[in-house]
Chain A
Amino acid sequence: MLELKNLTWRLPSGEKIVDDISYKATQKLIVITGPNGGGKTTLAKLIAGVEAPDSGRILLDGEDITDLDITQRAQKGVAYAFQQPVRFKGLTVRDLLILAAGEHMKETSLCELLGKVGLCAEEYIDREMSTALSGGEAKRIEIATVLARKAKLSVFDEPEAGIDLWSFSKLVETFEDIRNNTDGTLVVISHQERILSIADEIIVVANGKIRTAGPREEILPALLKGEYTCSCPRRNGGVCQ
């Protein structure tokens, strides 16, 4: 399980983006949400090792992984899906999935994996992960590379961004399936109600701090109520003024 202890990260200007965050995961599907610019993506990057904290510690199953680099963390079982998929000239979808799995994959496994993100293997498996793919296609392949890893801890940064409704439904099912049928922990940064509604635990991050955290049943109703206030300042008692 993941544990964060007094994690802090600053911009070069000194502004705190992640401000003394401490958290211990006890559940399998944790959704981090909160306003834009609140520090969620930075927190995900700190967990994956893409950024190094200015202070604080990160523990995975009790082992301090703070000083491990990206590769070492990946080898310890941390997987990270980038918010903006990285493009490669020459590397195909097949190449990336096999690298992610760390072993040869049969066609049936590749097909099953791409199916989890709503893509047809026959159509995509030998295509380059280049700019020739649309944003939504690339995003789904990015997610598939993380699913292929079957990691101890998988971090997804806004997996819903840019993907269509049908693929999104499939993705929600896949997250539920991982939660129900594997030992891995999922940390998903999301604003989507459907992803929030399958969370075991919700963490609200704002201004670099955990504003609130707890079981979905406790957090989600208050969050949705609050969303009305945020989305429509003129709304009062269910009636627009």
Chain B
Amino acid sequence: MSDIMDINFNAVTGDLLKMISDYDGTEFKGAYNIRQDSECAGRKSSENVSIEPKTDNPGIVITVKPGTKGETVFIPACVTHSNVDDLVYNDFYIGEGADVVIVAGCGVHSDGEETARHNGIHRFFLAKDSKVLYKEKHVGTGTGTGLKKIDPVTDCYLEENSRLEMDTIQLGGVDRSTRNTSAVLGKNAKIIVRERIMTDNEEVAITNFKVKLDGEDSGADLVSRSVAKGNSHQEFYSLVEGNNRCTGHSACDAILAENGTVDAQPALNASHVDAALIHEAAIGKIAGEQLMKLRTLGLTEEEAEAKIIEGFLK
């Protein structure tokens, strides 16, 4: 058990927290809520950030006061054994002019035969002129045969001149994941999404993005980089709707290795003459010339491949 005030979690959660939420083994610097196996294992509000339990569903309401600057909010969730099906609803209300970082990693550990699943349903309400950097890291650990599943849903509502930057990463160990992200943008609002996924063995990862650019001069930039190894499979679907004068870009770059497979279907839907929308999708194995270049620097083929993938998913 941890000896930290307000926190009471087990060793598996401690290990997962180090991987997913910048936890240094001593404390979280800022407001936090730690969820462990569908229970609260620690919660602390700060002067500017309040975290309260929801009354209608399992989950919390995070409210950031207008004008709050430079604070980080930690809301990691961990499932530490099999036969857990965790469902949580978290709502984030970001006050006008606030500028904060939210770290919301998820770790699932299973040494058993039953499924271990975390399903986090997050809603973001960004008030005028607010900014959020949302960092989300997913890991799966343990040697059990039970499936480790993470299915995040993120719905975002961005008011005028607000900006949401999502940095999501899932590098192996999660057997099944379906990520659904949607956003509705007001005037001059911006959303930037950077997703990196690596799957191996029999893992399956599905990503759905849906962005509505409703406000004048709103913008979206969605970039997904993925590596599918072993017999794993990934699917990438994105739909960017331009309903006003706006800019939208989505890109899916995927590297295939061994028997990995990827389906990518980026879609654009422009209903305004000044909507400027672009999509790109590129899937293939590592280019031979890239391996060759790194080999001319003295790396073996295996080292070169590892370095290329490491850089690609950085």
Contacts and interface: CB of A to CB of B under 8 A. Distances in A.
Interface of A: 48-50, 69-71, 74-75, 78-80, 82, 86, 88-92, 95-96, 99-100, 102, 145, 149
Nearest to B196: A90
Contacts, number: 62
B31 to A, nearest CB: 32
A99 B290 CA distance: 13
Contacts of A69: 295
A90 B292 contact: no
Given A70-B292, A91-B311, A102-B298, 15 more contacts: A49-B296, A50-B296, A69-B295, A70-B295, A70-B296, A74-B297, A79-B296, A82-B289, A86-B293, A90-B225, A90-B308, A90-B313, A91-B308, A99-B297, A149-B298
Nearest to A71: B295
B219 to A, nearest CB: 19
A99 B289 contact: no
A238 B304 CA distance: 55
Q: Secondary structure at chain A's binding surface: helix, strand, loop or mixed? A: mixed
Contact of B297 (A49, A89, A92, A100): A100
B124 to A, nearest CB: 28
B225 A149 contact: no
A79 B297 CA distance: 7
8 interchain residue pairs of minimum CB distance: A90-B311, A91-B311, A90-B312, A86-B293, A74-B298, A70-B295, A71-B295, A100-B297
B22 interface: no
A48 B296 contact: yes
B314 interface: yes
B165 interface: no
Interface in B235-268: 253
Contacts of B298: 71, 74-75, 102, 149
Contacts of B312: 88-91
10 contacts: A49-B296, A71-B295, A78-B296, A82-B289, A86-B293, A88-B311, A90-B311, A95-B307, A100-B297, A102-B298
A214 B119 CA distance: 74
A95 B296 contact: no
B295 A99 contact: no
B311 A71 contact: no
**Size range of the interface on B?**
20 to 34
Nearest to B303: A71
A71 B313 contact: no
Contacts of B289: 82, 86
A70 B292 CA distance: 8
B301 interface: yes
A86 B295 contact: no
Contact of B307 (A71, A74, A99): A99
B300 A88 contact: no
A82 B225 contact: no
B299 interface: yes
A121 to B, nearest CB: 19
Contacts of B192: none
B276 interface: no
Nearest to A79: B296
Given A89-B312, A90-B313, A91-B308, A99 B294 contact: yes
A149 B296 CA distance: 10
Contacts of B287: 86
B300 A71 contact: yes
A89 B311 CA distance: 7
A75 B303 CA distance: 14
Nearest to A100: B297
Given A71-B299, A75-B298, A145-B297, A50 B292 contact: yes
B225 A89 contact: yes
Given A86-B290, A88-B290, A90-B225, A149 B297 contact: yes
B99 to A, nearest CB: 24
Contacts of B225: 89-90
A95 B311 contact: yes
Contacts of B299: 71, 99
Nearest to B255: A89
A82 B311 contact: no
* Residue from B253, B296, B310, B313 whose CB has the most chain A CB atoms within 10 Å: B296
Contacts of A75: 298
A118 B110 CA distance: 54
Nearest to A74: B298
Contacts of A149: 297-298
* Residue from A70, A75, A86, A145 whose CB has the most chain B CB atoms within 10 Å: A70
Nearest to A48: B296
Contacts of B294: 99
Contact of B295 (A74, A89, A145): A74
Contacts of B297: 74, 96, 99-100, 102, 145, 149
Contacts of A86: 287, 289-290, 292-293
A70 B296 CA distance: 6
A58 to B, nearest CB: 15
Interface in B56-101: none
